[in-house]
Amino acid sequence: MTVLAVHTEDNVLSSAVERLRTLLAQVQDGAFAGAAVEPSLTAQGAVLVRFQPIFARDALPALQEGDVRDFLIFDNNKHWSGLQRLGPRLCADMPALRSGLAMLLDESRPLADRYDFAIGHINGMGRAVATAILLVAHPDKYGVWNTTSEAGLKRLELWPRFARGEREGSRYATINALLLELCAALQIDLWTLDALWYYLLLDEPIIQPPPPVPVDGGTNNGGDNIGAQAFGLERHLHEFLRDNWARTELGKTWQLYSEPGNENAGYEYPCNVGRIDLLARHRSEPKWLVVELKRGQTSDQTAGQVLRYIGWVRHHLAEPHEEVHGLIVAHSVDPSLTYAVSAIPNVELMLYQVHFSLQGAPKPERTR
């Protein structure tokens, strides 16, 4: 059974509502213009016109792979990035996808039961896709449960306390009730609330990044090798590690953390002290690994972050006999970070290198 502690703490809920109300006003005033990915507050109408008929339950027998893949693209759904990479698995068995969605969208059945069926029946289906489809199909009934909304609820100290082993569907039913309660208090719809989680986690209005720093010297001495630019590439390093984890040195020993309904739970794992860049478990030993990517933070900020996350994992996820290790990944280091890491037990530092080159394209062959 879920313990809804949030409802016994009216001051916590009131504080969260006021914070979200202030945030909404800031977003509407353009304070966050320039974010890398901006979920639209105003595109709901166009998205529903395009995709709501596709995901209507009586239209599912005609659901096509192209429809699903189009929906998963951020430029089309206007809210959820990163879903498109799930397309191949979701669409590999279209009959199973259609039948699983038919159950998910069957309003005559309890939400928890149909959610669990869809997650278990459809290969590649997780909470992020399932609940996004529910929102599009019934925008006044169902909110989205993904890494971003979970992190937002935890930051506002609204995350419910779930019983150990509680079913995924039961958890979503509780979370959805909480999302509906927030919308009623804010007098906004679920689409708008879903966008607010993204801006809440940005912490502050957008500041333009500094000029990029060359990794390999930044010079092109007449050849084809070009020094990679650290700032631009670091934005993609996070996703690269997630998508290629098994092929890295880390993947031989560690496995990215997963949960029922969310096989990518270890990517930007949300907790009430921030979001862990990557969270992994040892393949054979009782150990956890917190991976922090050093981007634009100072060395002190980076060391502090990894320590906070290690402490949180130790208290909330790890068993008493399990160790929690930390790893900082950076493209360069300074003495302050090196000394800091040397004084922290079970924390290591690794450097990454990126090489970019251009090669001549093949020329067409003569046919005569």
State how far the Cα of 100 lies from the Cα of 290, in Å rounded to an integer: 35
For 235-284, the DSSP string reads: HHHHHHHHHTGGGSTGGGTEEE--BTTBTTTTEEEEETTEEEEEEEEESS
- The first and second tokens of residue 68, run together, are 């699903």
Q: Taking a C-beta distance cutoff of 8 angstroms, is the pair 156, 75 a contact?
A: no
More confident residue, 170 or 260: 170
Q: Taking a C-beta distance cutoff of 8 angstroms, is the pair 236, 36 a contact?
A: no
The residue among 12, 28, 2 whose CA lies nearest residue 272 is: 12
The residue among 141, 125, 148, 138 whose CA lies nearest residue 37 is: 148
The residue among 265, 59, 290 whose CA lies nearest residue 151 is: 265
State how far the Cα of 200 lies from the Cα of 23, in Å rounded to an integer: 7
State how far the Cα of 277 lies from the Cα of 267, in Å rounded to an integer: 6
How much is the pLDDT for 232? Answer: 52
State how far the Cα of 330 lies from the Cα of 350, in Å rounded to an integer: 6
Residue 222 DSSP one-character state: S
Backbone angles phi, psi at 18, to 5 degrees: -65, -40
Give per-residue pLDDT as tens, 213-260.
344 444 444 444 333 444 455 557 777 888 888 888 889 999 999 887
How much is the pLDDT for 253? Answer: 93
Q: Taking a C-beta distance cutoff of 8 angstroms, is the pair 106, 74 a contact?
A: no
pLDDT grade for 331, boundaries at 50, 70 and 90: confident
CA 337 to chain centre: 27
Which range among 118-127, 128-137, 214-223, 242-251 shows the weakest confidence by mean pLDDT? 214-223
pLDDT at 192 over 80: yes
State how far the Cα of 199 lies from the Cα of 328, in Å rounded to an integer: 26
State how far the Cα of 192 lies from the Cα of 190, in Å rounded to an integer: 5
pLDDT grade for 35, boundaries at 50, 70 and 90: low
Helix (H, G, I), strand (E, B) or coil at 330: strand
Rounded to the nearest integer, the mean pLDDT of the chain is: 84
Name all domains of the chain by residue range, CATH numbers in brackets. 5-202 (no CATH), 230-351 (3.40.1350.10)
State how far the Cα of 266 lies from the Cα of 238, in Å rounded to an integer: 12
* Average pLDDT of span 355-368: 72
More confident residue, 171 or 225: 171
Instruction: Let me know the angle formed at the C-alpha of 242 by 236 and 245, rounded to the nearest 5 degrees.
Output: 120
* Average pLDDT of span 3-17: 68
Give per-residue pLDDT as tens, 259-285.
877 778 888 888 878 889 999 999 999
The residue among 116, 121, 127, 115 whose CA lies nearest residue 100 is: 121
State how far the Cα of 188 lies from the Cα of 243, in Å rounded to an integer: 35
* Average pLDDT of span 148-155: 91
pLDDT at 335 over 60: yes
